[in-house]
Structure formats: C-alpha cells, structure tokens
C-alpha cells in the first residue's frame, strides 16, 4: 500500500528544488539544469513506483468485503498521489 509520507517527501523535494532554482542568481545555468533534472528523475521514479503499486492492487482478487474495501481505498490513495505528480491513466 501507499504511504502518505513518501508523497509528502517527494512534494517537499520538488518544492525545495524550485526554491533553489528561483534563488540561483549565483549559480550557473548548468547547475540549475542539473538540479531540475534531478528533481524530474525523482518524480519519474516515484510515478513508476506508484504505477507498480497500482498494478499490484488491481491484480488482487478477494471475496472478503473488508479486504476489498481496503484495496479500493489503497487504489484511490495511489491514484490521488499519481494525479498530484501529473500522471493520467494510460489506456
């Protein structure tokens, strides 16, 4: 299942990178680009991880109503985090 603190960490990293990029009057353009690339790579890794979690949840089958509701909640949480990262369902 997805952990809320992980998405908050990713959001904080992105916000920190943006703050650094905004206050980089003394940094070279290459350093700014490298920081933006690092943040984007981290975002892609997080999206990939969430996509794998989503696939695992979707693949689980159960007749237990309690377990099914837990899976539905997990799926909703994962998809919400993915949307926050700019992801959309790929058909």
Q: Extract the residue ranges of the chain whose pLDDT is less than 70.
A: 1-10, 18, 20-26, 90-91
Q: Cα-flanking dihedrals φ and ψ of residue 60, to 5°?
A: -75, 135
Rounded to whole angstroms, the Cα distance separating 54 from 52 reads 5
Q: What's residue 5's pLDDT?
A: 47
pLDDT in tens, 49-71: 999 999 999 999 999 999 999 99
> What is the pLDDT of the chain when averaged over all its residues?
83
Q: What's residue 79's pLDDT?
A: 95
Q: What's residue 24's pLDDT?
A: 54
User: HEC profile for the chain?
Assistant: CCCHHHHHHHHHHHHHHHHHHHCCCCCCHHHHHHHHHHHHHHHHHHHHHHHHHHHHHHHCCCCCHHHHHHHHHHHHHHHHHHHHCCCCCCC
């Amino acid at each position: 299942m997805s952990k809320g603190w992980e998405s908050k960490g990713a959001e904080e990293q992105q916000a920190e990178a943006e703050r650094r990029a905004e206050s980089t009057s003394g940094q070279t353009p290459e350093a700014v680009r490298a920081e933006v690339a690092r943040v984007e790579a981290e975002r892609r890794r997080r999206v990939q991880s969430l996509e794998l979690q989503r696939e695992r949840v979707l693949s689980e089958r159960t007749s237990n109503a309690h377990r099914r509701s837990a899976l539905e909640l997990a799926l909703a949480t994962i998809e919400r985090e993915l949307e926050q990262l700019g992801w959309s369902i790929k058909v």
